[in-house]
Amino acid sequence: MKTLKKLLFFILGIGLLFACSKSDSFWGDEPLGKTMNGGHDQPVMVAMPFKADLIGEYKLQEPEVKCGYSEENPYMYHIIVTANGTATHLGKTYAYFDFCCNVETGVYGPADIYLVAANGDMLFLSGEGQVMTGRLDYHPDYVNSYWKDPMIVLGGTGRFAGATGTIMTDDYNSDLDPNSHHHWTGTITLVKGK
């Protein structure tokens, strides 16, 4: 009987030793997380709200052939805007917009846009739409033109690699200053943990 007790304690001790060992493996060399999904780790994507407020400065507003400018079509301008402000997931941010615009109709795009976070991570966007003369009821009285158009998130660098989403602009130009005013809301989907 004493031998049986010793044998049972020995087996129990070995079982506890293996149970307490640190390992991500279940059987063989296969990590536990891969036993149920066929061996493929998939990044977990998380959708989060996005908001940005930026003040832009027009750096270039010139007719340009690359935008379709010609004597028959004198309204096609190349426009570059740089902006500073804040954005969720970026903090203080710098933005760059580069697009063509028909200054007669207000139709613009596609606009190539990128935002740069303080740590250098970049978020790439694209948008197109139309600048409308006047203002919406909720805009301040000094607004002289506005645009409310969707933008698509095209990815980025660093924590924004693989990012997707849709952002809606609520932007305007003002009689008080020569700047563009940008107010964006939407949803951005990022890889969890980036």
The model's pTM is 0.77
pLDDT in tens, 111-120: 999 999 999 9
Half-sphere exposure in the Cβ direction for 147 (13 Å, CA):
19
If you average pLDDT over residues 105-110, what whole number do you get? 96
Strands (E), the chain: 45-63, 76-87, 91-102, 107-117, 122-130, 132-133, 143-147, 150-156, 164-169, 171-174, 180-191
Instruction: Give whole-number Cα distances, 159 to 145, 162, 193, 194, in Å.
Output: 34, 8, 8, 5
Res 54 pLDDT > 80? yes
So what's the pLDDT on residue 84?
98
| Beta-bridge partner residues of 170 | none
If you average pLDDT over residues 20-27, what whole number do you get? 51
**Percent of the residues in the chain that have a pLDDT greater than 90, as a whole number:** 75
Burial grade of 20 (CB within 10 A; 0-12, 13-18, 19 or more): exposed
Q: Can you tell me the distance from the alpha carbon of 163 to that of 168, in angstroms, rounded to the nearest whole number?
A: 16
So what's the pLDDT on residue 31?
53
If you average pLDDT over residues 82-90, what whole number do you get? 96
Answer positive or negative: Cα dihedral of 87, 90, 91, 94: negative
So what's the pLDDT on residue 43?
80
Q: Can you tell me the distance from the alpha carbon of 119 to that of 158, in angstroms, rounded to the nearest whole number?
A: 9
Q: Which of 17-26, 75-84, 93-102, 109-118 is the least confident region?
A: 17-26
Residue ranges and CATH numbers for the domains of the chain are 2-34 (no CATH), 45-191 (2.40.350)
pLDDT in tens, 155-191: 999 999 999 999 999 999 999 999 999 999 999 999 8
